[in-house]
Amino acid sequence: MDMQLQQDLTGQVALVTGSGSGIGKDIAQTFARAGAAVGIADINKEAAQQTVNLIEAAGGKALAIEMDVTSESAVNKGVNELVKHFGSIDILVSNAGVQIIAPIDKMDFKDWQKMLAIHLDGAFLTTKAALKHMYDSPKVGTVIYMGSVHSHDASLYKAPYVTAKHGLLGLCRVLAKEGAEHNVRSHVICPGFVKTPLVEKQIPEQAKEKGITEEEVVNDIMLVNTVDKEFTKVSDIAQLALFLAAFPTNVFTGQSIVASHGWFMN
């Protein structure tokens, strides 16, 4: 009998970091519509609560969690708060991120450290905290890292971002091996340019750095290698995250899935 794909997360509890806005917010809302109870983790508690309000207004269940993903104590506290409130953590989406644009020779070391701390340390700390609960659970555990085409490729002026996104591939692959005996699987979603506030902020920055127009940044840099000159949609990434979280087998564990309008093809 052919396996039927499921889009149902009823009875699941998810934690989505950086979900006060952008991709994380859309993933959280998508998971809630699919029946999951969702922890909305963000360094901005007010933004997290706004996402919770939207989910609850639509009949879903959510909890606002103030979380600095670079702080081990804050991460542990937030995960424990989620488990105490909803009873478990079955899905982790490590999505918190920032962007700082500068050439390597002009990159401030503090900016380098900040980028790696948020993207890589944050992924490690939230994973470690979640696994303490997932490993003891009879249910399947799913960890999804928000990578990028830059997990596989590189662009000018993004050394710490590219380095961190490459690092997520390694963390995901190790977790796939270590987590297998505990029924925990891992994935990296690798979007192309998604038109979020983070990306919109980069357009004038790159235009200034390169001395070109913002339109040229979009067409000749950001979307130059896509097949259709289209930005990846937030909803595309949210639906992909739902597909992976709800998938009934471990066939995709350890894999990265690129969603980029053909920018990078594995």
176: left (phi over 0), alpha (psi -120 to 50) or beta: alpha
Distance from C-alpha of 145 to C-alpha of 241, rounded to nearest angstrom: 10
Do 179 and 141 touch, CB atoms closer than 8 A? yes
Q: Which two tokens stand for residue 164?
A: 């961190």
DSSP letter string, 178-202 = HHGGGTEEEEEEEE--B-SHHHHHH
147: left (phi over 0), alpha (psi -120 to 50) or beta: beta
Q: Is 135 a catalytic residue?
A: no
CB crowding 191-214: b at 16 or more within 10 Å, else e? bbbbbbebbeebbebbbebeeeee
Q: Specify the DSSP class assigned to residue 225.
A: T
Distance from C-alpha of 148 to C-alpha of 163, rounded to nearest angstrom: 11
- CA angle 164/116/24 to nearest 5° reads 75
Catalytic residue (one of 135, 145, 157, 161): 161
What is the set of active-site residues? Answer: 161
